[in-house]
Amino acid sequence: MASRLVILHKNHLPANSRRIEALAETVYATEEELPLFLPGADALLAWWPLTEAVADAWPDDPAKAPRWVHVAAAGVEPFLFPALVDNPDVVLTNSRGVYDQPIAEYVLGLILALAKDLPGTWEHQRRHEWRPRDSERVGGRTVLVWGTGPIGRAVARLLRAVGMRVRGAGRESSADDPDFGTVHGPGTLRTALADADYVVLAAPLTPATRGMVDASVLAAMKPGARLVNVGRGPLVDEEALVAQLAEGRLAGAALDVFAQEPLPVGSPLWDLPGVIVSPHTAGEVTTWRTDLADLFLDNLIRRTEGRPLRNVVDKSHGYVTDRPA
């Protein structure tokens, strides 16, 4: 049993709080309160994961640091600070699996919205304008999914089901991947970009992936292609993306994540034609909070019983590798 569990929250608590409290002495803390309660705690549930408060409140004495940190998100980049990463006694877990299918469905919806110009249809409806026009097919179009983890694989399976030609991009190449068919490594990435009608970003944010879609990558994309980002905003050089979109070289983009969130009101991305902006909600379906809470409770039970935890993050990589960390 965890001697003391700290739950970092903001506006809401896990729906199964009472079941959690039955297994551990539980303390609820806001970002401001975290420095008071984190030292000496055995475990931390970062129910509010988009925060730098954990790094700021982390005890200087490694002996007072929590031995287990669980993040209620798939991405763990705010938690990869040296004091946590370098402490071999601290286990970091995430919420991999909760968002896979919801994000895949969202990506499909975004691609359909771009291909069928649904934003234009809604705008004509708002103006009471009857404007028949042609739209594009998605069947037979090529999509490159950059990121071959569980979310990228769920995206690949769903897009393949509607007839799209799916390819993957990752750290290692493969010619017979069960979900992507072909996975392009760094050596063949530019060729894959030049062939793709859609590029979907589903990679985690790590030092290796930050800024990976820079001006040269955008220039390597097929003219008239579209970019979909459901990974993390800092994967993309937004200034370079704006330039490509403003020139009309890229046909559009669907962006759910941004370098700065909320997206500043003065950002040109709000008004560029062919761009869909959504507020980091690709994975937020009606059941997401319950699913997150149930996953954590399962891990808490496992820890109480001395069984292996789910979704242990390899801290050297910044994501779950399914290999011993």
Active-site amino acid positions = 232, 261, 280
Q: Within 10 Å of residue 14's Cβ, how many Cβ atoms? A: 22
Q: Is 101 exposed, middle or buried (0-12, 13-18, 19+ CB in 10 A)?
A: middle
Give alpha helix (H) positions in the chain: 17-21, 34-37, 53-57, 82-85, 100-115, 118-126, 150-161, 189-195, 215-220, 238-247, 288-305
In contact, 233 and 258? CB cutoff 8 Å: yes
| Tokens describing residue 242 | 């704006």
Q: How far apart are CA 62 and CA 6, in angstroms?
A: 17
Work out whether strand 68-71 and strand 226-229 pair parallel, antiparallel, or are unpaired. unpaired
Separation of alpha carbons 252 and 227, rounded Å = 7
Distance CA 256, CA 266 (A): 17
